Amino acid sequence: MSILIDENTTFIIQGITGREAINLTRECLDYGSKIVGGVTPGRKGREVHGVPVFDTIAQLIEHNGGQVPDGSVVTVPPAGTKDAVFEALYAGIKTIVVVTERIPRRDVAAMVELADRNGARIIGPNCLGLIVPGVAKMGGIGGPAKNAAQAYQPGSVGVMSRSGGMTTEISSTLTAAGLGVSTAVSIGGDAIIGSTYAELMPYFEADEQTQAIVIYTEPGGRMEAQLSAWVKENNSRLPIIAFMAGKFMDDDEMQGMSFGHAGTIVEGKEDSATEKIARLQEAGIPVVERIDEIPDMVKKLIAERSAA
């Protein structure tokens, strides 16, 4: 099993004729993903690695006999991202991965609100997407298919990360330890994103393959507080392990500064790494010091849950 995508998931690439999108399309196809078309206004009739290109999603759906694709990967420039996402949502697409970064916050907020109204799920923006090892991937997560296959092996641990690169680093560590990954999601590093840890937890809870969760997190934002509250309120069956980066941001002179991602801005004490670690631990979520400590902690917590 998996969350959000499986072997039958069909999706499109919006902005498919862009340089990065062309590479992303190749990587996804090589991995076995089912891309049923691409959209770039003014490019109808072209092909990208055998994938037909259309001016609009409506044209694409008509070409495919009225079948609405399950998902879309949006790779258009920031100024046009909101319109592209709105087009996908109005077409009835339910899972949208937004790769684009530096999108105005007001546009992201509007996208997320419309997705909520339409019963759809946005992953990102500023993310690499998601992957079900050995099955399919949406987005550039893991890179070329050969590299993705090495880092991501099927297993029992779900991964959620604000960093695309760290999604692969953690998953590779789990794979090397023989644990593997059920589904890995690069949720995005911006201040406003479509799917937080807490919002994705119900999907993992319902996935029988997933026996534990690992999250990569950073200072800034309230997502860890939301996750801690969710775990307490829902008595989660899944042990969760966290790795916190950027502890140096706790220094007073770093307040209001950012590093790495746009969402990593410490605006007050509650945003600090120290406070987040305390809140996570209070909710029963251990925070490891090093990535290589993750597999042993996962094995320990799974064993404890099994023995309880």
- Residues designated catalytic: 261
Q: How many CB atoms lie within 10 A of CB 296?
A: 12
Backbone angles phi, psi at 22, to 5 degrees: -60, -45
**Cα–Cα separations (whole angstroms), residue 235 to 64, 205, 210, 229, 281:** 44, 11, 16, 10, 15
What angle in degrees, to the nearest 10, is found between the helix axes of 223-234 and 273-282? 10
Sign of dihedral through CA atoms 257, 258, 262, 264? Answer: negative
Burial of 195 from C-beta contacts in 10 A (0-12 / 13-18 / 19+): buried
Mapping DSSP to helix (H, G, I), strand (E, B) and coil, where does residue 182 land?
Answer: strand
**Cα–Cα separations (whole angstroms), residue 122 to 107, 143, 185:** 13, 21, 12
As a whole number of angstroms, the distance between CA 107 and CA 71 comes to: 20
Which H, E and C letters describe 14-61, residue by residue?
ECCCCHHHHHHHHHHHHHCCEEEEEECCCCCCCEECCEEEECCHHHHH
